[in-house]
Structures are given as structure tokens and as C-alpha cells.
Amino acid sequence: MHDSSTLPFDRRQQIARRLLRGETVAATALATEFQVSEDAIRRDLRALTAEGVCKRVYGGALPLSPASSSIQVRSGEDIGRKRALACAAAELVREGQTLFLDTGSTNRQFAAELPQDAGLTVVTNSVPVAAALMDCPGIALVVIGGCVDTTIGGCVGARSIAEMQRFRIDLCFLGTCAISIEHGIAGFNIGSIGR
């Protein structure tokens, strides 16, 4: 329990340290701990969000993850690892298959590794993947439409889901924000998963 005389700046710094350690924070718990109103905590969380420390969610805040950055930023990160994954994924592809390539900077690298003489059809909701494959005459390209989420670089929403139901996909390469053995895959935006 903290003394309610803790200065707002000091309190905000303590909250920021937790978020930077990857901890989730809840406004009610923080208000009780620091003996201040939830409004004071919400002001702290708004300020920390403006500083780029966290993302506000109902009831509190989440730490930011590198995976939550824009497709433009992620495309320039860990290129060697992404290429290695792309090469491994390309070995799974067989002649004449229909592939789905989801949004994601790794799938953008994967698109560049696809064999152009294997009679492939690539279905994608990713603008960068579509752009990479647009000039590949040996690959039939189908772009799923809908509203483009500029952070992830692809189409999401009900229209995209409805369009996906028209295809029989042989291999699906999903982009994901996080993966856990215990909890499976996760996305930051519910509209960006389950396509």
C-alpha cells in the first residue's frame, strides 16, 4: 500500500516501470494501491499511452509489444530470421497447391521465396504480399477484399471472412502476434484474427 501523498509523477513512473516489465495493470487495483481515485489512475494511463508506454484497454492498460508496431516497422526487423522461416515454409509447398498467406512481415518474406513455376494459386488479405506477387506471372494471385487495417497491412472484417469461404486452401500461413504452447496463438486486434 502506498501513501496517498505520492506525487502524480512518481506514481506514473512506478506504473510505467511495471508496464515496461511487461505487466498488465488494472485501474481499480492501482487506485486502491496508491489510495487515489480511479480518475487519477485513468489520467496516468492516458498520459502513459500518449508517451507510447502502453495501450489503454477497458479497465486498465497493456504493455506495448514490438509485435504491435506497424507493418512498415516490423518489415525492417529481424529480416534474417524471417527469411529463414520463409525458406523453411517454402519447402512445404507442392506443385498446384492453393495457399493462403495472411498479413505479416514474415509472410511478405515468404512470398518472395515461392517457386514461380509450380502452378500455385495464392490467396491473401495482405497488401504487401499482394504487391510482392503482383509481377509473378507463374503465380495466380487472388486478393481478399475488405477494409484495410493499415497497422497490419491487410484486409480484415466480415467481408474478408465471407470471401475466404469461397476457397479450398491446401496450406495456410497465418501471421500471429504471439504464440504460446499453453494458450495457442494471439492477436492484438480481434478483427485481425480468425480470418
| DSSP classification of residue 26 | E
Secondary structure class of 164 (helix, strand, coil) = helix
Domains of the chain: 8-64 (1.10.10.10), 71-192 (3.40.50.1360)
Residue 171, all three cell numbers: 496450406
Least confident interval from 6-10, 26-30, 148-152, 185-189: 185-189
Q: If you average pLDDT over residues 34-39, what whole number do you get? A: 95
Look at residues 6, 23, 35, 34 and name the one whose alpha carbon lies nearest to residue 60.
23
Q: Per the confidence metrics, is the pTM higher than 0.85?
A: no
Q: How confident is the model at residue 195 (pLDDT cuts 50, 70, 90)?
A: very low
Residue 13 pLDDT level (bands cut at 50, 70, 90): very high
**What mean pLDDT is reported for the chain?**
85
Distance in angstroms (rounded) separating the CA atoms of residues 44 and 155: 34
Band (pLDDT 50/70/90 cuts) for residue 53 is confident
Give yes or no for residue 194 having a pLDDT over 50. Answer: no
CB distance 54 to 48 below 8 Å: yes
Amino acid residing at 113: E
| 70-126 tens-digit pLDDT | 676 676 777 899 899 999 999 999 999 999 999 888 999 999 999 999 999 999 999
Burial 152-189 (b: 16+ CB within 10 A, else e): bbbbbbeebbebbeeeeeeeebbbebeeeeeeeeebbe
Cα separation of 144 and 58, whole Å?
31
